[in-house]
Amino acid sequence: MARRSGPRWALGLWLVLTIGIGLALGLTVGLGTLWAGLTSRRSGAIAEIYLLVAGMVWISLAGIGWVVVRRVDQLLARDWLDIVTWINQLEEGHWEPLPVPDTGPWGQLSYALNQMARRLAMAQSEREMFLASVAHELKTPLTVLRANLEGLATGALRATPERWTTLLREVHRLTRLVNDLLLIETMQSPTASLHPTPYRLDAQIEEVLLKFGPLADLQQITLVGTGEPVEVEADRDRLDQVLTNIVDNALRHTPQGGRIAITWRGLPEGVECCVDDSGPGIPVAQHTLVTRPFYRDPRSSGVGLGLAVAAALLQAHGGSLTIGNSPWGGARVCLRLPGRTD
């Protein structure tokens, strides 16, 4: 269709230019003839000369105009067809960049399309990695369930309480995985459902310290918390899930004899709470990656959803989650929440 519309466009432009030149020459000849009639007795001969010259000029300009218009049309059609072909290839999954012809309008368009293609390619790659990770995490518990249920059905396995406990643990693992995925998707939606209420954040952190205290003692890890009384307006249950995920992540990566410190403070723009540990830390290159679903450090045995869930919940609250380095060489995970609206 682009090839058929080109000649019509060129012909239309050429006709407009030709008519415009003809009118301009006609006006010039008319004025010249009028002036000759006023100043000379040979006005008829002069008028014929004017008409002859004007006709020759008009034909010459019309011919030149047609050549120029067709050349411009060919150049535009070539660039346009290149872009159309590239877009068709893009739909088929080919992500090669579009050549940028120059710095003019076509070059700017090509650059913008290349930027769009790059973002699409990254999104496609992340989507494929996400689906592969979901399939991998679902495969293990489903395989365990299938093998055990088939053994029970055929009588090859005995239905002992320990076996039922194992199967129930795998069901809980699947349920938690699906719930986390649904939570991330829900919290990233503009219509995320939260129930914020004002309450003391320091009191909630003290409850988290009490909850994880026995586990920290069992692992011979020092778990402490220091801060000032601060109030927030947030969904208490959701924020408890954020704190739980962050502290649980720190406990899983802190070696025996290590330490974890939770500190919090009020800021002019809201509240900040940081969890520092003495574990191996998170490489700087991974600071912005660990909050993505299923992204895992090769040294980690987790699923890779804990910090992703925390980040999604904080984003839904208008807050943020940042990763850094602790004073002891481990990881620092800081959450920020905006101040109360009243």
Q: What HEC string does 53-95 produce?
A: HHHHHHHHHHHHHHHHHHHHHHHHHHHHHHHHHHHHHHHCCCC
Fold classification of 123-187 (topology level): Helix Hairpins (1.10.287)
pLDDT at 260: 95
- Structural tokens at position 236: 């208490």
What is the rounded CA–CA span in Å between residue 224 and residue 229?
A: 16
Q: Where are the domains of the chain?
A: 2-94, 123-187, 197-338
pLDDT at 342: 58
Confidence of residue 51 (pLDDT cuts 50, 70, 90): low
User: Of 7-21, 28-42, 120-134, 217-231, which range is least confident?
Assistant: 28-42
Confidence of residue 308 (pLDDT cuts 50, 70, 90): confident
Contacts of residues 181-187 at CB distance under 8 Å and 24 or more positions apart, as own/partner, are 181/134, 181/293, 181/305, 183/309, 183/312, 183/313, 184/293, 184/305, 184/308, 184/309, 184/312, 187/312, 187/313, 187/315, 187/316
What is the rounded CA–CA span in Å between residue 54 and residue 24?
A: 10
Measured in degrees and rounded to the nearest 5, phi and psi for residue 94 equal -90, 120
pLDDT at 325: 93
What is the rounded CA–CA span in Å between residue 165 and residue 169?
A: 6
**Domain 197-338 in the same topology as domain 123-187:** no
Q: How many CB atoms within 10 Å of residue 316? A: 20
H or E element at residue 252: helix 236-253
Predicted TM-score of the model (pTM): 0.60
CB 295 within 8 A of CB 308: yes
pLDDT at 145: 85
Query: Which strands make up the sheet holding 270-277, listed edge to edge?
Result: 222-227, 259-267, 270-277, 331-338, 320-325
Fold classification of 197-338 (topology level): Heat Shock Protein 90 (3.30.565)
CB 257 within 8 A of CB 220: yes
Choose from 13-27, 148-162, 243-257, 284-298 the range with maximum mean pLDDT.
243-257
Percent pLDDT > 70 in the chain is 63
Residue 134 pLDDT greater than 60, yes or no = yes
Residue entry with tokens 């769009």: 116
pLDDT at 25: 56
User: Of 136-150, 267-281, 299-313, which range is least confident?
Assistant: 299-313
Confidence of residue 3 (pLDDT cuts 50, 70, 90): very low
Between residues 102 and 191, which one has the greater pLDDT? 102
